[in-house]
Amino acid sequence: MDCLTDDLCAIVLARLPLKTSTASKVVCKQWKSIVESPFFRQLFISLHQNSHSCSWSLMYFGTEIMAHYRCETWGLEKSLDFYISSFLKRFKNNEEHYKPAAEVVAYSDVGLVLIHVKPLKEKIHGSLYVANPVSRECVEILYPDALPLGFHETKQDHRMTGIVTRTDDKGVVVSSWSLNTYHLPYSLYLGDHRSAISLINGNLHLLAWKSLLGGGVRVVVSIDFYAGSDRCRVTPFPDSDKTPEFQRACTASQGFLMHMNIVVSEDKLCLWRLQSDGWQLISAIPPVALVSTGFDRPLTINPFDEKTAYFCGKHQKGLLSVNFHNGKFVLHNQLEHSSDDSRIMVSLKVWGYTRHIKQSERSSFVLPQWLHRIPNTVTRV
């Protein structure tokens, strides 16, 4: 390697999994300079752009429901739940005077999480940290004087917590971290929803009711925190005037907000994508697979492949993946499934309990095609 030029050295290192190539920075100053260069980042993403997926997990209040890992891009041998739980354990052990109750309260689509450490007696709010559990980096966020969004809620005052990120045209996280509050219009009710859906470049989506009088209308509240305005966009669900089979919910895939449901009157399993001008119908297929197999409860859509959705059943110990393009489905066993591209999917670790989990309480934690470093002063734990 000492005989290679920097560009040839970059080509060699870029073919390694991301976690390995970034760890190579500690070998010498030359490799550190190469790996941190924009050329290396573009080269790595180009070489790995055809990878079937990055690592991701479907989380429920800190519990991993299902996971994809061992992908080529990151080369992680364990699911993201392992890295999150081990990070929190080390995070707690690093505290000198006490062992706090730390929990993840929000997930992002750039591999970052928001951790809340419950307050001590002398602290009003406790502490908040933005962290990367894979690289074990974190930075503390200072509370403003106002009551933080998501904590100290009352029965009459429902709050929601989310983490918003912004990237530049090269895909690098450029935000400086702060804690802000956003007050929704009085006609919107969050109900019992506790999870916000975060998308790249400052978009945060909340599920709410618009006026509870007369039953209300289920809507998606979209907030762009970097648009320079405190206005939000309220969009009714595309099937709001029809009878759906499932509880209406959303998930993120390929940078868009997605919604799937079965319209009872039309007997179609439909997939919609939220665009700037409203919902766009992507696919509508007969729900024969769900009826015949008994896997009739939606879990999520693949964050890197919008044509693939996952379902569970009330009595089935397994997982069903459905292809929205051709209607084909694959039944996975209760432990794990190895596909042709050597990915591993661990499905439904909480058998019998998963069917009671509300769709609005699930969060996707996604590792992108590049390791996003946390801006501001970073602490490693």
pLDDT score recorded for residue 155? 40
φ and ψ of 56, to 5 deg: -155, 160
Joined together, the tokens standing for residue 33 give: 């300079």
Express each pLDDT in 308-346 by its tens digit. Answer: 898 877 766 677 888 888 888 887 765 554 544 445 666
Q: How many CA atoms lie within 13 A of 144 on its CB side?
A: 10
Distance CA(80)–CA(69), nearest Å, equals 8
Express each pLDDT in 242-252 by its tens digit. Answer: 888 887 888 88
The secondary structure of residue 265, as a DSSP letter, is T
The secondary structure of residue 27, as a DSSP letter, is T
* CB 363, CB 59: distance < 8 Å: yes
Distance CA(338)–CA(19), nearest Å, equals 22
Distance CA(285)–CA(327), nearest Å, equals 6
Question: Mean of the per-residue pLDDT values for the chain?
Answer: 76
Distance CA(179)–CA(344), nearest Å, equals 36
Tell me the mean pLDDT in the region 103-110: 84
Check pLDDT > 70 for residue 127. yes
For residue 82, CA distances in Å to 69, 78, 102, 229, 236 come to 11, 6, 16, 39, 37
Of 171, 227, 160, whose CA–CA distance to 197 is shortest?
160
**DSSP of 226-252:** TSS----EEEE-TTTTS-BSS----EE
**DSSP of 36-77:** TSHHHHHHHHHHTTTSS---EEEEETTEEEEEEE--TTT--S
Angle between helices 38-47 and 6-13 (to 10 degrees): 40
Q: Which residue did the predictor score with more confidence, 2 or 191?
A: 2
Q: Which residue did the predictor score with more confidence, 291 or 222?
A: 222
- 254 beta partners: none
Domain ranges of the chain: 6-47, 56-380
pLDDT score recorded for residue 271? 93
pLDDT score recorded for residue 142? 72
Distance CA(42)–CA(200), nearest Å, equals 18
* CB 208, CB 184: distance < 8 Å: yes
Q: How many CA atoms lie within 13 A of 46 on its CB side?
A: 10
Helix (H, G, I), strand (E, B) or coil at 189: strand
Q: Which residue did the predictor score with more confidence, 158 or 106?
A: 106
Tell me the mean pLDDT in the region 154-167: 63
Confidence class for position 172, pLDDT limits 50, 70, 90: low
Q: Is 205 exposed, middle or buried (0-12, 13-18, 19+ CB in 10 A)?
A: buried
pLDDT score recorded for residue 191? 57
Express each pLDDT in 185-204 by its tens digit. Answer: 667 776 555 567 887 667 78
